């Protein structure tokens, strides 16, 4: 038996022993939530949270003996708040930013990487060549949104922010010229603009930003944090064996092929 496989088996055994020794010997049902408008990472489809991150969370915690209920708690900010206060157990995927560190225990291994783009309407704005060109402009964000500490600080200092509670609202506003730009992951941005027929009205500005990462997040006082060594190892294995990339491809296709109404709650 190879050492890496032995270590993997030991982590599984330790995780299962922790579950068995929980209250009355029964593993409780876990409540997980996530970003409701960020395909293929996670989104709400027919009143269910689906995507790469929900699938990974169900897989890993299922291996540990838990049942996971994927909950559509509300908007993105509400999801973060529910896990922070202990009313839910898991954020299936979130950026690891400074303001969240005190309230969440994050996996060390990311679930997906997320190169960030600036999306603009080419018919209603000049071509932006750098972040400095965006100073003084109006940006559209979802409640609870973050695009990494650096971009968050830039926007807070230099832009007028208009918040919405649903993802498509910002796309509509940008297509109509009611906001000047919106930050969005390049992969998710391509999916969403294609999905809602905005591929010509909304494009990524021709400059690149930092790549951010989505991590699994647990409430900082959760007993589930004891499973982080196993979670990190399994996430690493799922990257190495191609499973996560397979899920990205699979859920991107599901998003594009599902009805528009189902993705616009």
pLDDT on residue 20: 43
C-beta of residue 185 within 8 angstroms of C-beta of residue 248: no
- Whose tokens are 């309230």? That residue is 103
Share of the chain above pLDDT 90, in %: 80
Residue 150 has pLDDT above 60, yes or no: yes
| CATH class label, 3-112+213-263 | alpha beta
Note whether 3-112+213-263 and 115-211 share their fold: yes
Lowest-pLDDT range of 51-60, 70-79, 151-160: 70-79
pLDDT at 21: 42
User: What pLDDT was estimated at residue 74?
Assistant: 83
pLDDT for 123 equals: 86
Distance CA 154, CA 258 (A): 36
Q: How confident is the model at residue 19 (pLDDT cuts 50, 70, 90)?
A: very low
In the chain, where the domains are located = 3-112+213-263, 115-211
CATH of 115-211, one of 3.40.50.720, 3.40.190.10, 1.10.3720.10, 3.30.56.10: 3.40.190.10
Please give the mean pLDDT across all residues of the chain: 90
- How confident is the model over 28-53, as a mean pLDDT? 95
Residue 26 has pLDDT above 70, yes or no: no
């Amino acid at each position: 038996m190879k050492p890496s496989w032995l270590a993997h088996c030991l982590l599984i055994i330790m995780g299962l022993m922790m579950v068995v020794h929980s209250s009355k010997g029964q593993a409780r049902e876990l409540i997980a939530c996530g970003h409701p408008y960020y395909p293929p990472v996670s989104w709400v489809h027919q009143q269910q949270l689906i995507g790469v991150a929900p699938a990974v969370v169900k897989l890993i915690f299922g291996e540990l003996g838990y049942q996971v209920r994927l909950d559509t708690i509300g908007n993105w900010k509400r999801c973060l708040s529910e896990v922070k206060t202990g009313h839910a157990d898991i954020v299936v995927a979130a950026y690891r930013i400074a303001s969240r560190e005190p309230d969440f225990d994050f996996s060390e291994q990311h679930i997906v990487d997320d190169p960030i783009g600036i999306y603009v309407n080419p018919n209603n704005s000049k071509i932006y060549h750098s972040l400095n060109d965006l100073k003084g402009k109006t940006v559209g964000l979802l409640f609870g949104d973050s695009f990494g500490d650096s971009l968050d600080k830039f926007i807070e200092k230099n832009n007028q922010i208009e918040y919405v509670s649903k993802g498509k609202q910002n796309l509509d506003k940008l297509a109509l010229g009611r906001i000047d730009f919106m930050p969005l992951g390049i992969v998710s941005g391509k999916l969403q603009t294609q999905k809602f027929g905005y591929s010509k009205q909304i494009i990524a500005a021709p400059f690149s930003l930092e790549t951010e990462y989505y991590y699994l997040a647990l409430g900082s006082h959760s007993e589930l944090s004891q499973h982080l060594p196993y979670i990190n190892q399994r996430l690493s294995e799922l990257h190495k064996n191609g499973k996560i990339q397979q899920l990205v491809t699979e859920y991107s296709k599901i998003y594009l092929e599902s009805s528009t109404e189902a993705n616009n709650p």
